[in-house]
Amino acid sequence: MSKLTHLDEAGHAHMVDVSGKSDTDRMACATAIVQLTKAAMAVLLEGNLKKGDALAVARIAGVMAAKKTSELIPLCHPLPITKVSVDLEPNRATHQVLITATVKTRGQTGVEMEALTAASTAALTVYDMMKAIDKGLTITSIQLEEKQGGKSGTWRRSAL
């Protein structure tokens, strides 16, 4: 079993010391899915929500969340993020919105948590914007798809 890096020798949680690591280019991509009903998807695509454009608001929320990750996740390092993109793709056939968040930095530790935070916050924002239409929306499959950089190199989720 591998040692968990956020636990010290005594088993206490601590922030990992990355001061000895080299700066490298790093990237992480994460996704989330929001499952809507057919009726809710129609409203989303019409863009007639009283709160405004749900997809645009969710995109901005995801970017903001990536920048605040170290304030939300207790042991994350504050990072100099160089790029955040949040794409939301509605699929009328499946009544789903696929959210893809990509985060980049040049630093001593990765941006996986920033990408996951961006994707999940964007999904929560879609829910918030759409809950007046349907409170039964579901957020599923929040997951890391890819990471690049650092000692462990590139990792990609395998297709099942």
Packed helices 38-46 and 112-130: angle between N→C axes, nearest 10 degrees: 100
Q: Which residues of 5-44 are buried (b: 16+ CB within 10 A; e: fewer)?
A: eeeeeeeeeeeeeeeeeeebebbbbbbbbbbbeeebbebb
The catalytic residue positions are: 128
Q: CA torsion sign, 125 to 100 to 84 to 5? A: positive
Return d(Cα 103, Cα 36) in angstroms, integer. 26
β-bridge pairing 155-156 and 96-107: unpaired
Whether residue 130 contacts residue 44, with contact meaning beta carbons closer than 8 Å, is answered with yes
C-beta of residue 144 within 8 angstroms of C-beta of residue 62: no
